[in-house]
Structure 1
Amino acid sequence: MKTPSVESGQSWFLRNRMSLLTVAIVAAYALFIEWFWGWSVILEQWAAVGPRPVIGALILLTSTYFLRTWRIYDYFPRETAGRFATLFRVTQIHNLLNIMLPFRAGETSFPVLMRTEFGIPLTRGTSALLVMRLLDLHALLAAAGLGFAVAAPNAALAWLVWVIFLFLPVFAFAARKPLLRLGAKLLPRKAQALLHEIENGLPFDAVAFGRAWAMTIVNWLVKVLVLAWALGLMGVMPMAASFGGALGGELSSVLPVHAPGGVGTYPAGITAGAVAFGASSERAALDALAQASVNAHLLIIVSALTGTAISLPLGRRGQVRS
C-alpha cells in the first residue's frame, strides 16, 4: 500500500511530466551547445552583429504577434469585442506553450483559454485553430514556392503555378460547399469528423475569410523576411539561402513533430532549408550555418518570451461571456 506522500509525489510528477521533459531537453541542448561549440562562440555572433540590428529584429518579430492577435480578434468579433489586450495575453501564452511543449501539445491550450476568457465553445475554438493552422502551412509553402519559382528554368510556367497555389485558399473557400460534400463521399466515416471541424472553423463570409487569409500572408512574410535578414547578418549566404533557412525553421515549427522549445528540430530545419536554397555544404560552411541556426532559434525564443512578458500585465481576466 502506497503512503499518501508517495501518491502525492507520483501525482505531482504525472501532472508536470511534460514540463519536466521540456526542461530536461532544453538543459541537454544547452549542455550540447557548450560541449560542441561553447556558448562564448555562439554569443560572439551576436556581438559581431551589434545591438541595433538584434533589437530591431526583436521588435519586428514581436510585432507579428500583434498581427496574429488581430487575426483571431477578427475571427471572433462578437466574443472578443473591446478585449484586444486580453486576447493578446491569451495568444502569447498559447504561443509560448506551443513552442515549449513537445509534439504540438501546446495547441490544446488555445481552445481551453478561449473558452475560459471568452466563453467560446471548445469545438469552435478547436475548429478555428485547425483552419488557421492550415492557412499558416499554406502561407509558408507559398513562400517556399516563391524561391523555387525565382530559380525555375521555365519562369512563366513556374510563376503561373505559384500564383494559382497562392490563391488556392480563396478558390477553396468559394467552392467550400461542393468540396465538403465531395470529401464526405470520398473519405471514410472517421475522417468525416475532420471535415466537419474544418467547416465549423471557417469564417462566416468571404470578406472575413479574405481578411484572415491576407493577415496570414503578411504575418508570415514579415517573420520570414526578418529571420532571413538575421541569418544574413550572421553570415548565411547567398541571400536565397538565408530565405530558405528561415522557411525551413518555420516549417519545422508548424509540422506535427516538434521538439520541446524547437530544440534540435528548428535549427535542423534552418540548416536543411538553407542548403536546399544554395548554401554551401562544405564542412566549415555547415559549421557556421549550424551556429547561425542556433542563434536564429534563440532569437525566436527571446521574441516569444518578450511578447509574453508584454502581454502578462495586459487584460485582467474578465468574466466569461455567455
Structure 2
Amino acid sequence: MNRRQILGTVAAILLTAAFVWWLAGSRLLEPVLVTLRQAALPYLLLILPLVVILQLARAARFVLLLDRMRAGGLLATFQISCVHIALNFLLPFKLGEAAFPLLARRLMGVGLASGTSTLLTVRLLDLGALGTLLAFSAALAVPDLAPYRWLLVAGSVLSLLAPLALLILAGHGQRQWGRLAAVGEVLARARSHGTFGKITLLSVLVWACHAGAAYLSFLAVNQSVQLAAAAFAGASGNLAFALPFQGIAGVGPVQAAFAWAAVLCGVALEPAVAAAIACHASLLVSGCLLAFIAIALEPRLRVWQRRVVADPPAP
C-alpha cells in the first residue's frame, strides 16, 4: 500500500469511529439500534427498484455523452455504472472513480480520455442537479430559511444551469487541447441543445430517486416527514458523500449530514439518525447487489483478471 492508500484507510477508520463514538456518547446508539430492529422492511425493499432506475438514468447519460446509442450500449454502461458506484461505496479516497474509464475501455472500447472526460462531465451535472435539489427542498422544508425562500429557489435554477455555462467556457479552450480531441468531442456533445436537456433531466431523475430512498427510509422507521424534508436530508447526505474523505463503506459524515438536515426540518434526532443509517444501508446493499449481478454476467468487469475476453474494437 502506498502512502495515500494508508492515509485513506486510516481516515476512513477514524471517521467511522468518531461517528460511532458520538452515537454512544450522546446515548443514541441503543435507541437507534432498537428503532432499526423495528424498521419496516417492505419500505426498505422498495429502495432497490429506485436504485435500478437511478442506475439506468446514469447509464443513459453515459450513452448520450459517448454517443453509443447502438444496441447493447445502454446495457454495457448500466453494468459499468453498477460496478463503479459499488466501488465508490467500498473504497476510500473516491478510488472507485478511476474504475469508470478503465471499465468503459474494457467493455466498450472507449479511450481513456473520452471515458475520463465523460465521467467529469457527469459529475459536473450531478453537482448542478444536487445543488438544485438541496436549495429547492431547503426553501420548502427548513422553517428558519423561510425568509430566504425565493432566493433559494433562484439559486436552485442557477445551479441547474451552471454546468452549461462551464461547458461553454471549456469549449473555448478546445483549440489548445491538441491531442485530447476526444475530450472536445464529449464536451461538444454535452453542451449541444438536445443532449444537454436530456442529460440534465436524467441527472434530476437520479437525485429524485435518492430523495425517494430517503423518504422511504423515514417511513421505515415510523417517522412521518414531508417529501421536501426527506429530499433535503438525502441531498445533504449525498453532498457529504462527495467529499474525498469518507468513513468505512461511507459510514460517518454521510449519516451525520443526513441527520443534521432532518433535525433542521423539525425531525427528532433519534429517528433522523435511524433513517440516515437505514437509507445508507439500503443504498449500499442494493448497489453492491447490482454490481455482483453485473460482474457475474459480464466477465470483462472482473478488473482483477487480465483481459478475460478481448476488448471490442473501437468504432
Q: Normalising by structure 2, report the TM-score.
A: 0.76
What CA distance in whole angstroms lies between the structure 2 residues aligned with 1:199 and 1:147? 35
After superposition, the C-alpha distances for 1:216-245 in whole angstroms (9 at most, x for unaligned) are 111111222221331244255643443322
The equivalent of 2:287 in structure 1 is: 304
Instruction: Choose from 160, 163, 186 the match for 2:157.
Output: 163
Contact 1:79/1:118 (<8 A) preserved: no
- Residue of structure 2 aligned with 1:152, choices 146, 150, 155: 146
Q: Give the structure 1 partner of residue 306 of structure 2.
A: none
Q: Which one of 290, 297, 302 corresponds to residue 314 of structure 1?
A: 297
Give the Cα separation in 1 of the matches to 2:231 and 2:117.
31
Which structure 2 segments of 5+ residues have no match? Answer: 301-308
State how far apart, in whole Å, the 2-side matches of 1:103 and 1:244 are: 25
Segment drifting more, 237-246 vs 63-72: 237-246
Higher Rg of the two aligned structures = 1
Aligned to 1:68: 58
Q: What displacement does 1:95 show?
A: 0.9
TM-fit CA distance, 1:130: 0.8
User: 1 CA distance for matches of 2:69 and 2:53?
Assistant: 23
Structure 1 residues without counterparts, runs of 5 or longer: 1-12
Corresponding letter in the other structure for 1:166: L
What are the residue-to-residue correspondences of 1:1-322 with 2, within 5 Å?
Answer: 21=9, 25=13, 32=20, 36=24, 42=32, 44-78=34-68, 81-150=71-140, 152-153=146-147, 158-170=152-164, 176=168, 180-181=171-172, 199=184, 201-204=186-189, 205-236=192-223, 238-239=225-226, 240-276=228-264, 278-279=265-266, 285-317=268-300, 319-322=311-314
Alpha-carbon separation, structure 1, partners of 2:15 and 2:288:
17
Identity of aligned residues (%): 25
In structure 1, how many angstroms separate the alpha carbons of the residues matched to 2:154 and 2:8?
Answer: 49
What do the CA deviations read for 1:33-53 (whole angstroms, capped 9, x no partner)?
A: 8x9379986554345332321
Q: Deviations over 1:53-75 (max 9, x none)?
A: 12112222233112211221222
Amino acid at match of 1:215: L
Shift, 1:16, TM fit: 12
SS at match of 2:312: coil
Specify the SS of the correspondent of 2:68.
helix
Give CA-to-partner distance per residue, 1:275-320, whole Å, 9 cap, x none.
33x235xxxx324422332222211211111221332233443533
* TM-align CA RMSD: 4.0
Classify the secondary structure of the residue corresponding to 1:256. coil
CA distance 1:198–1:157, shift in 2 (3 Å): farther
TM-score, with normalisation over the residues of structure 1? Answer: 0.74
Provide the C-alpha distance between the structure 1 equivalents of 2:9 and 2:299, rounded to a whole number of angstroms.
Answer: 30
SS at match of 2:147: coil
Give the counterpart letter for 1:143 in structure 2.
L
8 Å contact kept, 1:112–1:122:
yes
> Which secondary structure does the structure 1 equivalent of 2:297 belong to?
coil
Asked whether the 8 Å contact 2:54–2:209 carries over to 1, the reply is yes
> What CA distance in whole angstroms lies between the structure 2 residues aligned with 1:308 and 1:126?
20
Q: Is the 8 A contact 1:85 1:311 kept in 2?
A: no
Higher mean C-alpha displacement, 126-135 vs 39-48: 39-48
CA displacement at 1:215 relative to structure 2: 0.6
**Partner amino acid for 1:227?**
A
Q: What is the letter of the counterpart of residue 287 of structure 2?
A: A
Question: Is residue 67–residue 219 contact of structure 1 (8 Å, CA) maintained in 2?
Answer: yes
Matched residues, number: 294
In structure 2, relative to structure 1, the CA distance for the partners of 1:50 and 1:154 (3 Å cut) is closer
Distance in 2, matches of 1:162 and 1:265, equals 24
Aligned residues of 2:133 and 2:232 also touching (Cα < 8 A): no
